[in-house]
Amino acid sequence: MLRGELTAAQIGSKFQVPSSVAARWKNELLDRGAAVFSNNLKQPPLISEAEIEQLHAAIGKLKVENDFLHKASARLRR
């Protein structure tokens, strides 16, 4: 659409969305595309360091439980 090769209707049909949505995508890209693709975006992280620590702890606990259950089931199959 940006290059004029396809219309909004053709893009909409290709991606199974209304042509108005395809036209909105084009307008948003033209309006905000430079900011989206720049390296100067100052956005807060999606997840905090504390949440990452909690997730690592949960992963460790689940791994221990999984290893235990795997070994226990192997003994039962013998």
* pLDDT in the model for residue 59: 97
Q: In angstroms, rounded to a whole number, what is the distance separating the alpha carbons of residues 64 and 56?
A: 12
Residue 64: pLDDT over 70: yes
Q: In angstroms, rounded to a whole number, what is the distance separating the alpha carbons of residues 63 and 78?
A: 23
> What are the pLDDT digits (tens) for 3-62?
889 999 999 899 999 999 999 989 988 988 887 777 665 667 788 899 999 999 999 999
Average pLDDT, the chain: 88
* pLDDT in the model for residue 40: 64
Delimit the domains of the chain by residue range. Answer: 1-43, 44-78
> Is residue 8 within 8 Å of 19, Cβ to Cβ?
yes
* pLDDT in the model for residue 35: 76
